[in-house]
């Protein structure tokens, strides 16, 4: 595990700002693309959820906790060789 902080930014003007602060201008889009896809999926699912939810706030908390558990422990992910994230993390 690295102890260095990393900030993912787009090119162009940000590179000038990074150079002025002696920070690296190395761009790594592979991790960024994965995170953006995750946020896209999450945003889509939250939107669908918001359109159909009619329960209370405590019920929402319970539902989100159950969904998070399902997503990380039971749902297979194609990018992880059809394993849940918890199992893939244990193997690495």
Angstrom distance (rounded) from CA 25 to CA 16? 9
Q: What is the average per-residue pLDDT within 4-24?
A: 61
Confidence of residue 20 (pLDDT cuts 50, 70, 90): low
> In this structure, what DSSP letter does residue 38 have?
H
Angstrom distance (rounded) from CA 72 to CA 76? 9
Confidence of residue 18 (pLDDT cuts 50, 70, 90): low
Q: For residues 84 and 74, is the Cβ–Cβ distance under 8 A?
A: yes
Average pLDDT along the chain: 76
pTM of the model: 0.44
Angstrom distance (rounded) from CA 7 to CA 92? 24
pLDDT tens sequence across 35-90 = 788 888 888 888 887 777 787 878 888 888 898 899 889 988 888 888 888 888 88
The pLDDT assigned to 22 comes to: 65
């Amino acid at each position: 595990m690295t102890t260095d902080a990393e900030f993912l930014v787009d090119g162009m003007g940000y590179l000038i700002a990074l150079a002025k602060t002696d920070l690296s201008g190395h761009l790594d889009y592979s991790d960024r693309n994965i995170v953006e896809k995750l946020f896209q999926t999450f945003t889509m699912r939250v939107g669908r959820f918001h359109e159909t939810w009619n329960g209370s706030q405590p019920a929402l908390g319970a539902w989100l906790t159950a969904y998070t558990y399902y997503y990380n422990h039971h749902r297979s992910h194609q990018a992880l060789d059809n394993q849940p994230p918890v199992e893939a993390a244990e193997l690495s």
